Amino acid sequence: MAPTRASAARATARARSAAREARRRWRAAAPQQRQTVRLAAVSGALGLVVALVAVTVAGPWDSGQRTAERVRAARLGHGSGTDHTPGRGGAYPMAPQVLAAAGPLPRQGTGEGGPPSGSGGRGGTRPERVPAPTPSALADTLEPLIEDGSLGAVRHASVVDAVTGRQLFARNAKAVSAPASTIKLATAVAALTARGDTYRIATRAVGKGDRVTLVGGGDPTLSRRDLAAMAERTARALDERGVHKVSLGYDTSRYSGTERHVIGPNENLARVTPLMVDEGRADHSHHGPAPRVADPALEAAETFAEELGEEGVTVRGTLEERTAAKGAEKLAVHRSATLGALVERMLTYSDNDLAEALARQTALAQGEPAGFKGAGRAVRHTLEKLGLPVKGARFADGSGLDRSDRASPALLTRLLALAADPDRPRLRPVLTGLPVAGFTGTLDNRYGGERGEPGAGLVRAKTGTLTGVNTLAGTVVDADGRMLAFAFMTTGAPGRDAAHKSLDRLASALANCGCRDSPSAG
Residue 121 sits at the vertex; the CA angle it makes with 120 and 124, to the nearest 5 degrees, is: 70
Sheet holding 314-321, edge to edge: 314-321, 245-251, 211-215, 202-208, 329-335
For this structure, is 350 an active site residue? Answer: yes
Q: Is 473 helix (H, G, I), strand (E, B) or coil?
A: strand
Pairing of strands 469-477, 460-466: antiparallel
- DSSP label of 104: P
Among residues 181, 399, 502, 518, which one is catalytic?
181
For this structure, is 181 an active site residue? Answer: yes
Amino acid identity of 65?
A: Q
Distance CA 367, CA 423 (A): 26
Check: CB of residue 485 under 8 Å from CB of residue 194: no
CA distance readout (Å), 308 to 205, 277, 370? 11, 16, 30
Check: CB of residue 320 under 8 Å from CB of residue 435: no
Among residues 184, 399, 502, 508, which one is catalytic?
184
For this structure, is 119 an active site residue? Answer: no
Q: Which of 186, 144, 143, 183 is nearest to 471 (CA)?
A: 183
Contacts of 5 (CB under 8 A, 6+ apart): none
Check: CB of residue 226 under 8 Å from CB of residue 332: no
Among residues 80, 158, 336, 350, which one is catalytic?
350
Dihedral-angle region of residue 413 (phi above 0 means left; psi in -120 to 50 means alpha; beta otherwise)? alpha
Q: Please give the biggest Cα pair distance in the chain.
A: 112
Distance CA 327, CA 330 (A): 9
Q: Which of 113, 158, 167, 108 is nearest to 135 (CA)?
A: 167
Check: CB of residue 170 under 8 Å from CB of residue 293: no
Distance CA 154, CA 145 (A): 14
CA distance readout (Å), 345 to 147, 336, 351? 33, 13, 7
Residue 38 phi/psi, 5-degree rounding, is -65, -40
Q: Count of alpha carbons within 13 Å of 130, Cβ hemisphere only?
A: 30
Q: Which residues are catalytic?
A: 181, 184, 350
